[in-house]
Amino acid sequence: MIAQVPEIRISQAQLQPEAGAPNEQRPAEEHPREISAIRSFLQARGNSAMADRGFHWLMVLCALSIFGIVVLIAIELVVRSKLAWGQFGFDFFYKAYIDTYTKETIYWDPVNGHFSALPFLYGTLVSSFLALLMAVPLAIGVAVFLTEMCPGWLRAPLAFITELLAAIPSVIYGLWAVFVLVPLLREHVNPWLVKLLGWTGFFTDDNPTGLGFLAAGVILAIMILPIISSLTREVMTAVPTSQREAVLALGATRWEMIRMGVLRNARIGIVGAIILGLGRALGETMAVTMVIGNSLDIQRSLLSNGNTMASAIANQFAEASGDLHLSALMELGLALFIVTIIVNAFAQLLVWAVTRGTPSSAH
């Protein structure tokens, strides 16, 4: 083949170092049309070193823009939240104010300029924790079923369905929750919970709407399930088959094989997947905003209305009264940004620790 194109004058100096072994015997011609295009191009081209360098730097620039975006977001949030930070400092995250007239505890009072993010922090933690409590066992169950037990013909459709669950937009989950889940909880589940577990104090029937932490937790659980289960699946697939065979060869049942051979080896990655799900739950906005009830108090009952950091921003940002209010919301956003970055970075490191070397497929 090389003999057929003597008119191309290749000098070694023009070749890139990555060019590998140009003397290697190429297999039979596969793309004659591409070759002739290359030939005509080569005859027309001039010096490509500049173009090469330019292209390289263009790509570097685009890749660096990802850094730029993160830095820009951080700078914007820091600058805009300076006012609130200067006013409240660390008080912003835990202080409670007493209303001068009603003598009630008050946390977030735009009218009098008192801002404390405590109810939002509390709500974010409670709703995310509820979501994890429901989602994690189910997600691991699904992952185990799909990787170890599922008959071949069922695997692809089920994986597709869990993928679809991840693709449904947050606002549609919210819509469904408002019209289906919340009435269901209100009519059937909540009265039953109050009767059964009312003595714990976590379930009181003083909220007739059906909105609240529980509704938010359930919808969040549905939303983070696919993320956790698909990552867990990825991690479990990365466990070498020889591990499974070794445990089975020692006479283990299938469950023992899964527990000792697969789950134990994949546990770091599974923890990573769970933390990644937590990161998603912390920042999830629309569906939660639609069902959590948006109160500004802290209540013990899981059936009462609450608020999360993200839903507070979504609700109040457009109608923020005054610079201080806006700045306080920005600070809330900054806190959310920092927390999710830490959580995600940590989770990513854990997942990478397990799947390193195996190309991941689902993203």
Sign of CA dihedral 212, 217, 219, 220: positive
Which amino acid type is present at position 202?
F
Q: Which is nearer to another protein, 299 or 311 (CB)?
A: 311
d(CA 261, CA 251): 12
Candidates 111, 86, 85, 78; CA nearest to 97 is 111
Query: 131, 281 in Cβ contact below 8 A?
Result: yes
The residue from 82, 99, 112, 137 that contacts another protein (CB under 8 A) is 137
In angstroms, give the least distance from the CB of 280 to another protein. Answer: 7
The residue from 145, 202, 204, 324 that contacts another protein (CB under 8 A) is 145
d(CA 303, CA 322): 32
The residue from 83, 185, 247, 270 that contacts another protein (CB under 8 A) is 247
The residue from 96, 98, 133, 156 that contacts another protein (CB under 8 A) is 156
Query: 107, 96 in Cβ contact below 8 A?
Result: yes
Q: Verify binding: residue 201, another protein, rule CB under 8 A.
A: no
Q: Verify binding: residue 66, another protein, rule CB under 8 A.
A: yes
The residue from 118, 189, 238, 252 that contacts another protein (CB under 8 A) is 252
Span 265-294, contacts to another protein by CB under 8 A: 265, 276, 279-280, 282-286, 290
CB under 8 A: which stretch of 87-95, 100-108, 198-206, 243-251 binds another protein?
243-251
Sign of CA dihedral 191, 196, 201, 202: negative
Residue keyed to tokens 């009312």: 198
The residue from 82, 99, 188, 255 that contacts another protein (CB under 8 A) is 255
* The dihedral formed by the CA atoms of 338, 324, 318 and 173, expressed in degrees to the nearest 10: 40
In angstroms, give the least distance from the CB of 226 to another protein. Answer: 8
Q: Which two tokens stand for residue 299?
A: 């209540």
The residue from 99, 187, 205, 256 that contacts another protein (CB under 8 A) is 256
Q: Verify binding: residue 111, another protein, rule CB under 8 A.
A: no
Element (H, E) at 133: helix 118-144
Span 297-356, contacts to another protein by CB under 8 A: 310, 313-314, 317-318, 329-330, 333, 336-337, 340-341, 343-345, 348
